[in-house]
Amino acid sequence: TLFRSQSGRMSVAGLKKQFHKAHQMFSEKLSGVQGTRLDDEFKEMERKILVTNKAVLELLTKTASYLQPNPAYRAKLELRNTMSKITGHIKEMGYPQPEGILGECMWYYGRELGEKSALGSTLMNVGHTMKQLAEVKDAFHINVKQNFIAPLQFFQDRDLKEILHILKKLEGRRLAYDYKRNRRGAFADEEIDIAANKFEESKELAETNMFNILENDAEQVSQLAAFIEAALDYHKQATEILQPLHNEFHKLLLNYSNRRKKKCKPKAEVVRNTEANERYRHNGLGYSSVLYSSGL
C-alpha cells in the first residue's frame, strides 16, 4: 500500500512537470512569452549538430541506395538476412550485381551460338569479363560497408543519439525553469533555484558534448576518405579487367575491316553450276575451260 501511494504521488508529480513544460511551450509559441535565451555560440553549435545528424542519416540511406539501387530487392535481401540471423544462419546473402546478371546472359547466348561463331565467342568473352566486374564490385561493397557505413552508423548510434537526448533534456529543463521563474509567487525560491541549477547543469553538459563532436569531425573526414579510396580501387580494378578486352576488340575490328567479305552463293545457283559442269564434262570440256575461253 505504501509503495502504491508513493508511486501514485510520483506519477502525479510527473504529470505536473509535463503540464508545466507544455504550458510554457504553448505560451512561448502562441502568446509570444520570452523564454530563457541561450547564447549565440551555443545556438550555432546546436544548429551544426542537428545538420550533422541529418547529414549522417541521409548519407547512410543514400549510400545503401548507391550500392544496391533496386529498393524492392534491397528490402527483400534485408528481410532474408534478418531471418537468417534469427534462425542462426550467419552467412548473409549478397546483392545480385547488374554486371553479373548481364554477364550470365551474354555467356549463355554466346555458348548457344558456339565458339566458332564470331558473335558467340565474343559474347562469351564479354560475359566472362562482366562476371569479373561483378566480383570486384562485391569486394567494393564489402569495403564500403566496413570502412564507411559501419563507422558512420556507430557515430550516429552512439554520439549523435546521445547529444540529441541531452539537448532534448536541456529543453525540458529550460521549460520547467522558465515556468517556475515566471510564477515566483506560486513556487518557493529554493524550488526555482533547483530548477535553474538543473538547467545550467544540462546546458554545460550539452555544450561540452557538442564541442567534442564538432572538434573531432576529422574522424568523419577520414571515413569519407576511406569511401573515396574504396571507389578509386574499384575503378582501377575495373579498368584493369576491361583494358585487355578493349585491346582485343581493337584487333578484332581491325582484322574485320581488312578481311575480304565472303559472298553468299545461293544453293539454287550451285545446283545449276553443278549441272552445267556435268554436261560440259560429258562433252569432253571442263566447265572452267569454257569460262576461260569465253573470257569470263
Cell of 173: 529543463
Q: Is 70 exceeded by the pLDDT of residue 118?
A: yes
pLDDT band per the 50, 70, 90 thresholds, residue 277: low
pLDDT band per the 50, 70, 90 thresholds, residue 290: very low
**pLDDT on residue 289:** 45
pLDDT band per the 50, 70, 90 thresholds, residue 23: low
Per-residue pLDDT of 122-133, as tens digits, reads 999 999 999 999
**pLDDT on residue 262:** 66
Rounded alpha-carbon distances, angstroms, from residue 150 to 27, 122, 142, 172, 220: 43, 41, 10, 32, 12
**pLDDT on residue 92:** 63
Question: What value does the mean pLDDT take over residues 272-276?
Answer: 57
Cell of 129: 569479363
Per-residue pLDDT of 219-231, as tens digits, reads 999 999 999 999 9
Least confident of 52-56, 162-166, 261-265, 272-276: 272-276
**pLDDT on residue 184:** 81
Question: What value does the mean pLDDT take over residues 157-168?
Answer: 96
Question: What value does the mean pLDDT take over residues 64-72?
Answer: 85
C-alpha torsion 153→155→160→166, nearest 10: 120
Q: What angle do CA 246, 249, 252 make, to 5 degrees?
A: 155
CB atoms under 10 Å from CB of 136, counted, come to 19
Q: 33: alpha, beta or left, given left = phi > 0 and alpha = psi -120 to 50?
A: beta
**pLDDT on residue 269:** 55
**91 vs 146, higher pLDDT:** 146
Question: What value does the mean pLDDT take over residues 279-295?
Answer: 49
Q: Is 60 exceeded by the pLDDT of residue 284?
A: no
Per-residue pLDDT of 221-268, as tens digits, reads 999 999 999 999 999 999 999 999 999 988 888 887 777 666 666 765
DSSP-based three-state secondary structure for 92: coil
CA distance 1 to 9: 12
Query: Cβ contacts of residue 25 below 8 Å, gap of 6+?
Result: 175
Whether residue 64 contacts residue 78, with contact meaning beta carbons closer than 8 Å, is answered with no
pLDDT band per the 50, 70, 90 thresholds, residue 16: low
Instruction: Provide the mean pLDDT of the chain.
Output: 83
